[in-house]
Amino acid sequence: MAGFRIPEQVIEEIKASSELVSVVEQYVRLEKKTGQNFFGLCPFHSEDTPSFSVSPSKQIFYCFGCHKGGDVIRFIMEIEKCEYLPAIQLLAQRAGITLPEPDDEAYRLRSEKTKALQAINLEAARFYYQNLISTAGRDARAYLQKRQISAQTVRRFGLGCALADWDGLYRHLQNKGLADDVDLLLQSGLLRRGKSGNLYDLFRERLMFPILDVMGRVVAFGGRVYDDSVPKYINSPETPIYTKGRHLYGLNLAKSSKAGRLLMVEGYMDVIALYQAGIDYTVAALGTAMTENQARLLAKYSESVIIAFDADAAGQTAALRSLDILHQHGLKVTVLQVPEGKDPDEFIRNNGSERFQALIEQSLPLLDFKLLAARREHTHDGALDILAYQDEACDVLGKEENAIVRELYAGRLADELSAMSETVLREIERRRSQKKPGQQHDQLRQTLLTTRRSEPAERHAPATRDEIYLLTLLASDSAIWPVLDPGPVVEDFSEGSMQTLAAAVLPLAADGRLDMPLLLDQAQSLTVMGQPLADLLAQAGMKQEERFGQQGQLEAAVELLKRQRRGKLMRRKDVISQAIMTADPVERDRLKQELLEISQQLEKMKSTSQ
């Protein structure tokens, strides 16, 4: 895939066929307010009054709350939390545009196989769903009813069922013309070859859970029996499109949650029941121990993760150690305990979602939970084996990187053990020093990172409304630049942020390449009088048509540039007039000369504009 680029004209075609309002409306309920723009509750941050706006004429979105904004591609990247290429692919797919593929035989074959396998999986999901809502699906429906799963939730998760026959799916795929390539069918993992050479279905008489990747494509299935027979669950084997430990069940939905955290549970039914109860940020690891890949996935979509942990499970400390991998990926980890060894699904059915919500709020930082688990593990018949406990607790705390946190917990542990806190801390530090070298290095790196982050704040001059509108006009109509003669230069803009922005965007405007998304992009992280510059630009961009009319934009730009230049000269004139009074004779002469030149320029402007 390296070096593969989609031609500019195809991207333009995709943008042209992806009307922003209709794309946004698939995610956000929009209302048309005054003027031409739409408003809605921002999908990127939590809010009660709409500050998320979409301009159909400019084809940009902008949130005045969290300052995210841009074009349709940026919207998809933000809302699907994906990179540029997947966003393009998704929009192309929606618009029915076929993307060119790299001229590489191996890539072409691989991508064809991926598509074919995705098609088989999608068709299988449809088949299982049809089974579920048919008369033959009554066992599965009864099971779901018992678990209080609504029809709406069934659709949301695409649940289905496999019936008792041996080749229902196989025959269905044949009818759909997807069964010609036997090798491919076997690679899908959904079918197997019997001794007689015939193909038969892997899943029979099971409730079916489609496993979706983060972009919402069906990549595999899990199947559950309706009773207590074993195996309770079987899953698709690994296939060219499904690698175990690479996916998180439910992430395709949870990634859009505004909760700002993810909740990690064990099973499919937990994810589904919690989602139905309004806890829409739940994912499941699909039966594997936490993998490096999953930790990376979690870290990509959230900064903090809550782990639902079975408090009564055996071998807790070992299981907890597997959570360190999350910590290493920079995630804030807390642990939630579901009482009485219940799973979240069962707990919520018996106690309701408020009680579960309370458990979430009571979740303990990983370190606290490890200490609690150590205490439990070394408590036998109600008596704490204090030596074993302090040994384990010091080990746990010795692994903590933050010295302040270590000291804090040492104090608590000392209280618990009725020991001196210095003694406990010394023991913890002794265990640390026995650990492998290399830590020093990390600390140094951390220091470097933090110093670099705190750069001095830039000083900003104010901006005028004229120059803001001038830029948004230039960004909306490439016919404006050639008319401005001489065209605007960096010095026409106010010192500070406006000149920084002008330096970046004027060359683009001169090339006819400047548009609103680019303008907003270049303004990111610039502020004017404490306000994000992108806010001012987005506001102006969305209002300018009302203000100048569609026809008047060209004339408006000419006039704004003139006013901006005049205004700058007037302000300079004021500054000089002030300075002259206190200047020494030599300086005074120079200033007088400049004052004269400014007056002449202003005169000239007056005469040309009449």
- Footprint of Zn ion on this chain (CB under 5 A)? 42, 44-45, 63, 65-66
Prior bond to 486 cis, omega within 30? yes
Q: How far is the CB of 257 from Zn ion (least distance, A)?
A: 14
HEC sequence for 78-96: HHCCCCHHHHHHHHHHHHC
Q: What angle do CA 93, 94, 96 make, to 5 degrees?
A: 65
Q: How far is the CB of 45 from Zn ion (least distance, A)?
A: 4
Q: How far is the CB of 473 from Zn ion (least distance, A)?
A: 26
Q: How far is residue 82's CA from residue 124's CA, in Å, rounded to a whole number?
A: 26
Q: Where are the alpha helices (DSSP H) in 180-266?
A: 182-187, 251-254
* Total H helices, total E strands in the chain: 28, 20
Do 62 and 53 meet the contact criterion of CB atoms below 8 Å apart?
yes
Dihedral sign for Cα atoms in the order 342, 343, 347, 350: negative
Q: How far is the CB of 85 from Zn ion (least distance, A)?
A: 25
Q: Which one, 42 or 537, has the nearer CB to Zn ion?
A: 42
Q: How far is the CB of 146 from Zn ion (least distance, A)?
A: 41
Q: How far is the CB of 543 from Zn ion (least distance, A)?
A: 19
CA distances in angstroms from 119 to 72, 124, 414, listed in the order given:
27, 9, 61
Residue 474: phi and psi, rounded to 5, are -60, -35
Q: Which one, 41 or 417, has the nearer CB to Zn ion?
A: 41
HEC sequence for 494-531: CCCHHHHHHHHHHHHHHCCCCCHHHHHHHHCCCEECCE
Q: Which one, 42 or 218, has the nearer CB to Zn ion?
A: 42
Q: How far is residue 316's CA from residue 372's CA, in Å, rounded to a whole number?
A: 10
Q: Which one, 65 or 240, has the nearer CB to Zn ion?
A: 65
Specify whether the backbone of 127 is left (phi greater than 0), alpha (psi in -120 to 50) or beta: alpha
Residue 576: phi and psi, rounded to 5, are -65, -45
Q: Which one, 52 or 369, has the nearer CB to Zn ion?
A: 52
Q: How far is the CB of 64 from Zn ion (least distance, A)?
A: 8
Tokens 């060219």, residue? 240
Classify burial at 120, counting beta carbons within 10 Å of its beta carbon; exposed 0-12, middle 13-18, buried 19 or more.
buried
Q: How far is the CB of 148 from Zn ion (least distance, A)?
A: 34
Q: How far is the CB of 579 from Zn ion (least distance, A)?
A: 45
Do 251 and 283 meet the contact criterion of CB atoms below 8 Å apart?
yes
Q: How far is the CB of 65 from Zn ion (least distance, A)?
A: 4
Q: How far is residue 161's CA from residue 140's CA, in Å, rounded to a whole number?
A: 6
Q: Which one, 74 or 370, has the nearer CB to Zn ion?
A: 74
User: Side chain identity at 176, as an amino acid letter?
Assistant: K
Q: Which one, 42 or 191, has the nearer CB to Zn ion?
A: 42
Q: How far is the CB of 332 from Zn ion (least distance, A)?
A: 22
Q: How far is residue 473's CA from residue 550's CA, in Å, rounded to a whole number?
A: 11
Q: Which one, 41 or 473, has the nearer CB to Zn ion?
A: 41
Q: Which one, 42 or 528, has the nearer CB to Zn ion?
A: 42
Q: How far is the CB of 523 from Zn ion (least distance, A)?
A: 16
Q: Which one, 47 or 324, has the nearer CB to Zn ion?
A: 47
Q: Where are the alpha helices (DSSP H) in 399-463?
A: 403-417, 421-433, 439-453
Q: How far is residue 106's CA from residue 2's CA, in Å, rounded to a whole number?
A: 13
Q: How far is the CB of 31 from Zn ion (least distance, A)?
A: 16
Do 309 and 368 meet the contact criterion of CB atoms below 8 Å apart?
no
The two structure tokens encoding residue 217:
């494509």
Q: Which one, 20 or 173, has the nearer CB to Zn ion?
A: 20
Q: Which one, 45 or 399, has the nearer CB to Zn ion?
A: 45
Do 533 and 522 meet the contact criterion of CB atoms below 8 Å apart?
no
Q: How far is residue 566's CA from residue 429's CA, in Å, rounded to a whole number?
A: 69
Which residues contact residue 127 at a Cβ distance below 8 angstroms, ignoring those fewer than 6 apart? Answer: 160, 168, 169, 172, 173
Q: How far is the CB of 69 from Zn ion (least distance, A)?
A: 9
Q: Which one, 46 or 439, has the nearer CB to Zn ion?
A: 46
Decide: helix, strand or coil at residue 440: helix
The two structure tokens encoding residue 534:
């992108």
Q: Which one, 11 or 66, has the nearer CB to Zn ion?
A: 66
Q: Which one, 53 or 390, has the nearer CB to Zn ion?
A: 53
Prior bond to 231 cis, omega within 30? yes
Q: How far is the CB of 43 from Zn ion (least distance, A)?
A: 8
